[in-house]
Amino acid sequence: MKVMEPVNIGIIGLGTVGAGTVNLLERNANEISRRAGRHIKVKGAAVRDAARPRACSTSSLELGTDPFELTDDPTIDVIVELMGGETLAREIVIRALTNGKHVVTANKALIAVHGNEIFRVARENGLVVAFEAAVAGGVSIIKVLREGLAGNCIEQVIGIVNGTTNYILSGMSKSGRPFDEKLDEAKRLGYAEADPSFDIDGVDAAHKLTILSSIAFGIPLDFANVYVEGITGITSQDIAYAGDFGYRIKHLAIAKRIDSRIELRVHPCLIPVEHLLANVDGVMNAILVVGDAAGPTVHYGAGAGAEPTASSVVADIVDVVRTLTTDPENRVPHLAFQPHSLSPLRGGPMGDVETAYYLRLLALDQAGVLADVARILGQRGISIESIRQRGTSSSDTPVPIVIITHRTLESRIESSIPELESLPSIAQKVVKIRLESMASHPE
Ligand code: NAP
Ligand code: HSE
């Protein structure tokens, strides 16, 4: 039998994911080469500070600080970009592709924002850019959507796709810990982005939704058209009140086909406590995909962290190694659909979104307050499913009133809020959180 040369890879970034990848490639080298058909050798790595201690061994690789030494090294076959950020990462990936190297990346910001350009350059050069680790850490959701569900018309993709925000929300909910404490833990555990505002403001989840929706619906990557809200407005009080009504608050990334439109939104959401997604806690992620043939399928696993993410990076490296010998024209397309078959995204304004709502008002306990609130909602055709006043009060001490509405248009809720806030008996801004019943088919 002919002994094949090892495949040389260059890794850019040896932080949480990079070190996890080196460790996994070393620990499971034998199993991995049995699968890939070739031995995989980490020839070199680039970091910002070469003197910094690493969570992996660097004795058998060339360690430097210039990523372009790796992209320009003719002996390297695959560049693995695990550095993060958009600008330099884009330059590195484009340079690697123009130098004829395949690319593996875990960088969702890069793919969501520059993916259309990167895939075009990859196609022109007959190369693969693989990015399984960019969405939901160790969950192979890209492969599932791109290959496993290729026979379906996808109706919905709804996911908990950010480990940090789920870690914070479930910590606040289950053990009553404060937001900042859980965020600090998520940073320590290597879950959070270098700039954690990407996690808590919802941007990271929006990057991931951009990628998922493109692969699910055959549309170009279009990050600018995702509605984004983070979790910084969620209080322990809202988590407790939602629980009283039988709901949990989760940070969801939602892509839904509504007639010929596709809704793309990321925001906190009440979901029924008995739904699978409501029981996904800590750093775990889960993505519900509804296909017309497969029906609902749920894909669950660790959404962040060194080895779960490295698991997806290494799977991509193995895939790339396997494709080294296949005809570029006959590979699985980057975005699942053939590049000439992508349809333009037809989105729509958030005002057209139809869902139920949780509203929390702080009101003086005076005669007629509830009637005023009901009148304002009723005038807009918003029907109330439940309403509860929290606690007793005197007429000059405001108390929270929590309302769950039936499904209605967001534009109606938006127009009612200023009128509610202008009532003399309403003491504070109205808190609004969307609520999804999580029915697998549009109601
Ligand atoms: P990280 O721990 O901050 O590591 C980043 C690495 O990149 C560090 O080794 C850093 O070097 C290196 N680096 C930064 N700028 C550089 C430059 N200009 N030149 C050379 N090297 C440079 O980040 P991470 O958590 O591993 O994340 C890496 C990527 O994976 C990001 O795109 C992230 O979104 C994605 N991701 C992360 C996770 C996770 O759980 N952490 C999960 C999925 C995807 P120094 O160590 O010397 O500073
Ligand atoms: N910061 C990201 C998260 C890393 O918490 O989900 C995984 O993509």
Average pLDDT over residues 196-213: 98
The pLDDT of residue 329 is 75
Residue identifier of the C-alpha nearest atom 7 of ligand 2: 304
**Whether residue 80 is found in the same domain as residue 184:** no
**Whether residue 145 is found in the same domain as residue 249:** yes
Distance of CA 133 to the CA centre of its chain: 11
Q: Is the pLDDT assigned to residue 327 strictly greater than 80?
A: no
Q: Which residues are catalytic?
A: 208
**Whether residue 96 is found in the same domain as residue 163:** no
**Whether residue 199 is found in the same domain as residue 276:** yes
Positive or negative: CA dihedral 338, 340, 342, 343 = negative
Is beta strand 129-130 parallel, antiparallel or unpaired with respect to 102-105?
Answer: parallel
Give yes or no for a contact between 20 and 306, defined as CB atoms under 8 angstroms apart: yes
The pLDDT of residue 330 is 75
Q: Is the pLDDT assigned to residue 2 strictly greater than 60?
A: no
The pLDDT of residue 23 is 98
Instruction: Specify if 182 maps to a domain.
Output: yes
The pLDDT of residue 443 is 46
pLDDT digits (tens, 9 = 90+) for 333-381: 888 898 888 988 788 899 999 999 999 999 987 888 999 999 999 999 9
Q: And the tokens for 409?
A: 């248009």
Distance of CA 86 from the midpoint of ligand 1 (Å): 12
Q: Is the pLDDT assigned to residue 412 strictly greater than 80?
A: yes
Name the region of 432 (left: φ>0; alpha: ψ -120 to 50; beta: rest): beta
The burial class, CB within 10 Å (0-12 / 13-18 / 19+), for 332 is: middle
End-to-end CA separation in angstroms for the chain: 59
Q: Is the pLDDT assigned to residue 1 strictly greater than 70?
A: no
Round to whole Å and give the CA distance between 199 and 204: 5
**Whether residue 321 is found in the same domain as residue 366:** no
**Whether residue 230 is found in the same domain as residue 328:** no
Give yes or no for a contact between 80 and 313, defined as CB atoms under 8 angstroms apart: yes
Instruction: Specify if 441 maps to a domain.
Output: no
The pLDDT of residue 345 is 78
Q: Is the pLDDT assigned to residue 391 strictly greater than 80?
A: no
The pLDDT of residue 328 is 76
Residue identifier of the C-alpha nearest atom 45 of ligand 1: 48
From residue 381, give the alpha-carbon distance in Å to each of 130, 204, 408, 412: 48, 35, 8, 8
Q: Is the pLDDT assigned to residue 441 strictly greater than 80?
A: no
**Whether residue 165 is found in the same domain as residue 288:** yes
Indicate the pLDDT class of residue 3, thresholds 50, 70 and 90. Answer: low
Instruction: Specify if 206 maps to a domain.
Output: yes
Distance of CA 209 from the midpoint of ligand 2 (Å): 13
Question: Tell me, what amino acid is at 82?
Answer: L
Distance of CA 308 from the midpoint of ligand 1 (Å): 15
User: For the domain that residue 125 is a member of, what is the CATH number?
Assistant: 3.40.50.720
The pLDDT of residue 338 is 87
Q: Which of 22, 71, 83 to mutate to test the pocket of ligand 1 (most atoms within 8 A of CB)?
A: 83
User: For the domain that residue 230 is a member of, what is the CATH number?
Assistant: 3.30.360.10
Average pLDDT over residues 178-198: 97
Average pLDDT over residues 50-73: 97
The pLDDT of residue 175 is 86
Is beta strand 102-105 parallel, antiparallel or unpaired with respect to 154-160?
Answer: unpaired
The burial class, CB within 10 Å (0-12 / 13-18 / 19+), for 160 is: buried
Average pLDDT over residues 266-292: 98
Write down how long the chain is: 443
**Whether residue 289 is found in the same domain as residue 363:** no
Q: Which residues line ligand 2 (CB under 6 A)?
A: 137, 162-164, 191-193, 199, 204, 303-304
Instruction: Specify if 185 maps to a domain.
Output: yes
**Whether residue 225 is found in the same domain as residue 282:** yes
**Whether residue 105 is found in the same domain as residue 118:** yes
From residue 235, give the alpha-carbon distance in Å to each of 203, 240, 248, 360, 432: 20, 9, 12, 11, 12
The pLDDT of residue 4 is 77
Residue identifier of the C-alpha nearest atom 2 of ligand 1: 15
**Whether residue 125 is found in the same domain as residue 159:** no
Instruction: Specify if 440 maps to a domain.
Output: no
What is the chain's alpha carbon radius of gyration, rounded to the nearest angstrom? 24
The pLDDT of residue 392 is 65
Ligand 1 atom closest to Cα of residue 18: 26
Which of the pair, 365 or 7, is modelled with greater confidence? 7
Domain that holds residue 206: 141-302
Ligand 2 atom closest to Cα of residue 108: 8
Say yes or no: CB of residue 255 within 6 Å of ligand 1: no
pLDDT digits (tens, 9 = 90+) for 227-242: 999 999 999 999 999 9
Round to whole Å and give the CA distance between 6 and 211: 32
Average pLDDT over residues 298-324: 96
Average pLDDT over residues 403-412: 97
Ligand 2 atom closest to Cα of residue 309: 7
Which of the pair, 249 or 330, is modelled with greater confidence? 249
Distance of CA 190 from the midpoint of ligand 1 (Å): 10
Q: Is the pLDDT assigned to residue 393 strictly greater than 80?
A: no
User: For the domain that residue 418 is a member of, what is the CATH number?
Assistant: 3.30.70.260
**Whether residue 132 is found in the same domain as residue 273:** no
Instruction: Specify if 379 maps to a domain.
Output: yes
Average pLDDT over residues 383-393: 84
Distance of CA 84 from the midpoint of ligand 1 (Å): 5
Say yes or no: CB of residue 46 within 6 Å of ligand 1: yes
Instruction: Specify if 282 maps to a domain.
Output: yes
Residues in contact with 67: Cβ distance below 8 Å, sequence separation at least 6, in sequence order: 12, 46, 83, 88, 92
Q: How many domains is the chain partitioned into structurally?
A: 3
Q: And the tokens for 360?
A: 């929390």
Instruction: Specify if 262 maps to a domain.
Output: yes
Q: What share of the chain is helix, strand, coil (3-state, %, to 5)?
A: 40, 25, 35
Indicate the pLDDT class of residue 74, thresholds 50, 70 and 90. Answer: very high
Which run of H or of E encompasses 148?
none
The pLDDT of residue 442 is 45
Ligand 2 atom closest to Cα of residue 167: 5
Q: Which ligand is the nearest neighbour of the Cα of 309?
A: 1
The pLDDT of residue 409 is 97
User: Of 254, 200, 263, 266, nearest to 228 (Cα)?
Assistant: 266
Average pLDDT over residues 149-156: 97
Question: Mean pLDDT score of the chain, rounded to an integer?
Answer: 94
The pLDDT of residue 54 is 98
Least confidently predicted of 236-240, 331-335, 423-427, 429-433: 331-335
Indicate the pLDDT class of residue 89, thresholds 50, 70 and 90. Answer: very high
